[in-house]
Amino acid sequence: MKLRRLLPALATMAALSLGLSACGTPAEKEDPAATETFNIGVAVIVAHPALEAAQAGFEEVLAEEGVDYKIQFENAQGDPANAPTIATVLAGNADIDLFLAISTPVAVAMASAEQTRPILFTAVTDPVADGLVPSWDAAAPNMTGTSDKNPGALPVHLIQEIMPDVKTIGVLYTSSESNSLSQVEDYKKEAAELGITIKEQGITAASEVSVGLSALADVDAILIPTDNTVVAAIASVIAFGQENKIPVFCADSSTVEAGTVATRGLNYHDLGRRTGEMAVGILRDGKTVADFAPEAPVSTDLSISKAAAESFGITLPDALIAEAKTTF
């Protein structure tokens, strides 16, 4: 008798138990933010290894942090005149939560097209001079990011270390890229201290790369800044250098991997990773753009290419080979 009386009670308790389990406690409920998919608008001036490395580093951090995201990608195809158009396209998508502007021209265009939602820039040489942020210590109301300006790199010094007899260095750059103009001025100041002449050769479009190189046929070495138009045509620059036995140097490790001799300092993959960390803070952790002042790299890691040096007929000093963090 007692057992029969207990059975209904036990069944009721089991049902209640199952009901409570199904409801779960607040701590056991799924965090909506953990499964939210963020929409990111990405704009780039042109596809080349350095800028691709920056975007790869950015996305790598998002993946590592478990952030679920979708990207709307726009490419200006190397024409700064296209930058306002692609910026307007991205700003017109009301579903985008955050924008990534890769390079100076598209960052300037995005700043004009979108004044409310967060914009992160990367591979921008001087965001203060270009009016993207008020200073190196503070973000704009909805924009901040990472710069590829690296005063400690001293590329002219590096060329002299490798080529002690260098007298004239040719610099090919795009006259409409403010980031390149800034670097050329830095090169000239550095070269003047060493008694080296910088021969500038500006171009206005990718179609002028060959003509621009021809004007540098009498230099001892060629130095390529982080110029989007010229770096996109780096294979042509390297071929010209090899044909004329003029060693080609650059301003970032991705371009060393492509076949230039050496650089100190900039790694665009790392630059993109830092920008990705900012994005995680804004999208997932509740931080605002104001929490991140613009940043520039401070490292001066050396990257060299033994194969490139050999192809240009020069010998790398043993001390530099030992110093190199990355060797190709």
Average pLDDT (51-65) is 97
Torsion 160-315-302-184 (CA) sign: positive
% of the chain at pLDDT higher than 70: 89
Instruction: Please name the residues in contact with 282: beta carbons below 8 A apart, sequence gap of 6 or more.
Output: 98, 118, 120, 288, 289, 291, 292
| Residues 303-324, mean pLDDT to the nearest whole number | 95
**Distance, CA of 230 to CA of 208 (rounded, Å):** 10
Mean pLDDT over residues 13-20, rounded? 39
Note the pLDDT tens digit of each residue in 209-227: 999 999 999 999 999 999 9
In this structure, the chain runs to a length of 328
Q: Of residues 59 and 12, which shows the higher confidence score?
A: 59
Lowest-confidence segment of 11-25, 152-166, 300-314 by average pLDDT: 11-25
Catalogue the E-assigned strands of 76-188: 98-102, 119-124, 143-147, 168-174
pTM comes to 0.82
Q: What is the pLDDT of residue 68?
A: 97
Q: Which residues lie below 8 Å from residue 23, measured CB to CB, with a gap of 6+? A: none
Residue-level pLDDT at 30: 46
Q: What is the mean pLDDT of residues 54-75?
A: 98
Q: Which amino acid is at 312?
A: F
pLDDT digits (tens, 9 = 90+) for 281-291: 999 999 999 99
| Mean pLDDT of the region 51-60 | 97
The strand pair at 168-174 and 197-203 is best described as parallel
What backbone phi and psi angles, to 5 degrees, belong to 246? Answer: -115, 105
Q: Is 118:289 a contact under the CB 8 Å cutoff?
A: yes
Question: Reading across the β-sheet that carries 248-250, which strands appear in turn?
Answer: 197-203, 168-174, 221-224, 248-250
Reported confidence tier of residue 34, pLDDT bands at 50, 70, 90:
low
| Structure token pair of residue 29 | 């409920």
The stretch 281-309 carries a mean pLDDT of 94
Alpha-carbon separation of residue 194 from 7, 223, 227 (angstroms) = 96, 16, 24
What amino acid occupies position 109?
Answer: A
pLDDT tens for 98-138 read 999 999 999 999 999 999 999 999 999 999 999 999 999 99
What is the average pLDDT score of the chain? 90
Please compute the mean of the pLDDT values over residues 251-262 and round it to a whole number.
93
The domains of the chain, with CATH numbers, are 34-148+268-291 (3.40.50.2300), 151-265+301-327 (3.40.50.2300)
pLDDT tens track for 170-206? 999 999 998 899 999 999 999 999 999 999 999 999 9
Count other C-beta atoms under 10 Å from residue 20's C-beta.
10
C-alpha 68/C-alpha 34 separation (Å) is 8
Q: Average pLDDT in the 66-83 region?
A: 96
